[in-house]
Amino acid sequence: MLAPACKKENKIPVISVTPTAPDIDVVSGVVLSFSINAQTDNSTLASIVITSKKGNGFTVTLRDSTISGTSFNWNWEYLVANATEAYTELLTFRLTDVDGTMMETQRTLYVTLGATVLTETSGHTFYSGNSIVHPESAFDLQERIPVLSTVDSTRRDVQDNPLNGTTTELSRNWISPAGGRLVRFNGYDYANATDISLRSAYETGIPVEELSGIAVSDIILIKLGSLPSNTSFYAALRVVDIVDDGGTSDNDRYIFNMKWTVFVE
């Protein structure tokens, strides 16, 4: 008589990640989907940690989640960062149980540069620096909201710059208290803007601290200041309307649409 078969137990927690290939070729700017499955036979799951290491850089924790039970399934999406040159990125998936026993698996991303078509947001507004009714005379491009001229300078990416404190005529002059630099580039192909073309167009221009003579249909490119040294934020602003009521500055304003991209080295 044959003895009944016994199920073989795993002494350590087991994690499996799909795609299963250890090396993954990918284009920057795309979203990768990972299916993560974990289980344990003789303990309880405690946590899953996902880290990233780009080239010879520092290891960064992307997710650190507490889990429980004896099994775990999760679909995780990861945006592959844009960059100025091709790079490798090591993703480590580490599973731990309540006894401190760990298992990990890794995926190496071989990232090549790819142009990502940029999306547009529209109807953005900020007002004259002399408006009493609307004190939002600056704009935070990262948050995409108008802000007061009194907020921290790091949030004032573009701001109206009146000649003096009494004029009722809209200045049509922009500055960047946040340390950004501006380029007027009306020949830029805004309709077909990509992350690569936006950065390239900005770099071919002559960035200035103050831009005067802002007009409808202008395309203003800006690279933000006040960001970490490894992060570059570029935006293209298309001026769609300028309101400049005679005799008062209270409702004078700029209206623009924008596209933007972020590069992390």
Write out pLDDT tens, residues 127-167.
999 999 999 999 999 999 999 999 999 999 999 999 998 99
Task: Find the mean pLDDT for residues 96-121.
Answer: 93
Q: What is the pLDDT of residues 59-99, one digit of tens each?
A: 999 999 999 999 999 999 998 887 778 899 999 999 999 99
Query: What's residue 42's pLDDT?
Result: 85
Query: What's residue 143's pLDDT?
Result: 96
The pLDDT-based confidence of 28 (bands split at 50, 70, 90) is confident
Query: What is the distance between the alpha carbons of residues 129 and 253, in angstroms, rounded to a whole number?
Result: 9
Residue whose tokens read 């933000």: 224
The pLDDT-based confidence of 258 (bands split at 50, 70, 90) is very high
CB 217 within 8 A of CB 241: no
Least confident of 27-36, 79-88, 194-203: 79-88
Query: What's residue 1's pLDDT?
Result: 47
Query: What's residue 6's pLDDT?
Result: 52
What Cα–Cα distance (Å) separates residue 162 from each residue in 138, 183, 252? 12, 19, 12
What Cα–Cα distance (Å) separates residue 234 from each residue in 82, 83, 111, 130, 225? 12, 13, 21, 28, 10
Q: Is the pLDDT of residue 116 over 90?
A: no
Query: What is the distance between the alpha carbons of residues 50 and 18, in angstroms, rounded to a whole number?
Result: 14
pLDDT higher for 235 or 166?
Answer: 235
Mean predicted lDDT score pLDDT of the chain: 93
Query: What's residue 84's pLDDT?
Result: 72
Q: Where are the alpha helices (DSSP H) in 117-229?
A: 195-204
Query: What is the distance between the alpha carbons of residues 152 and 160, in angstroms, rounded to a whole number?
Result: 15
Q: Is the pLDDT of residue 265 over 80?
A: no
Query: What's residue 117's pLDDT?
Result: 87
Helices (runs of H) and strands (runs of E) counted in the chain: 1, 18
For the four alpha carbons of 171, 169, 155 and 53, in that order, the dihedral sign comes to negative
pTM: 0.64
Q: Domains (ranges, CATH) in the chain?
A: 14-112 (2.60.40.10), 121-264 (no CATH)
Query: What is the distance between the alpha carbons of residues 251 and 128, in angstroms, rounded to a whole number?
Result: 8
